[in-house]
Amino acid sequence: MRPAARSLSYTRLMSACSGVQPARVPEPAVSSSQTTHQRLQLDPSEWYLYHTLYREARATWAERPVDRIADRIRVRPDWVVGDFGCGECLLQDKLPNKVIGIDHVAAKEGVIACDMAATSLGDESLDVSVFSLSLMGTNWPDYLKEAPRTLKPYGYLVIAEPVGRWRDDLTTLRTVIESAGFRVIGDVEQRYDFVYLTALKADT
């Protein structure tokens, strides 16, 4: 049986990360990534407002997940990185690697504007897929099903999530990751308000 998918809207992300007060963030209907993508293609102003408030929230955090993830990937500048839900391309700005950003709206030239559950990335084109606070929407497990298709054999999956979202339910997250074709490696790490998981694409 597929585990219940715990969805996360923009507002709930802000609340879970102890950042901007929820009342300040627009609350779109919690919907699938396909519906969200169609809506934002018609009117991206919601996306830009969210990232403006998100930028303010990050300034108050003791640690930004993008910094920690960049430190881990930087030692392999040869890796091709897929940044799923790249937002303002912060990871790309911090790495010498080739970083392919994927999001509903292209903040920079070269970002692929698409539904993260069905990207245009080629098969086995990435060394590592990153989901940094981007598992949003009712169908977020579908993003993790797309990731192994894009990863080379034994490619890495790196996830950062708000600890408040999974405080009592990390088992569900691990189950979805493993069901998508990954093997979680090492311990789930909790630092400040975030949890970090690393997984390896399973040998098929």
The rounded distance, in Å, linking the Cα atoms of 192 and 63 is 7
Q: What is the pLDDT of residue 187?
A: 87
1 in any annotated domain = no
pLDDT tens-digit series, residues 124-142:
999 999 999 999 888 999 9
105 in any annotated domain = yes
Q: Which residues pair with 200 in a beta bridge?
A: 156, 183
152 in any annotated domain = yes
Q: What is the pLDDT of residue 204?
A: 58
- Cβ–Cβ under 8 Å, residues 94 and 67: yes
4 in any annotated domain = no
Q: Do you know the residue count of the chain? A: 204
121 in any annotated domain = yes
138 in any annotated domain = yes
pTM: 0.85
What phi and psi, each to the nearest 5 degrees, are found at residue 127?
-95, -30
CATH number at residue 152: 3.40.50.150
Q: What is the pLDDT of residue 50?
A: 86
Q: What is the CA radius of gyration of the chain?
A: 16
Q: What is the pLDDT of residue 30?
A: 66
pLDDT beyond 80 at 48: yes
76 in any annotated domain = yes
pLDDT tens-digit series, residues 149-175:
999 999 999 999 998 888 878 888 999
The rounded distance, in Å, linking the Cα atoms of 74 and 70 is 6
pLDDT band at 7 (very low <50, low <70, confident <90, very high): very low
pLDDT beyond 60 at 29: no
Q: Number of folded domains in the chain?
A: 1
Provide the residue range defining the domain that includes 55: 10-201
Q: What is the pLDDT of residue 144?
A: 95
52 in any annotated domain = yes
The rounded distance, in Å, linking the Cα atoms of 93 and 104 is 19
Mean pLDDT for 79-98 is 96
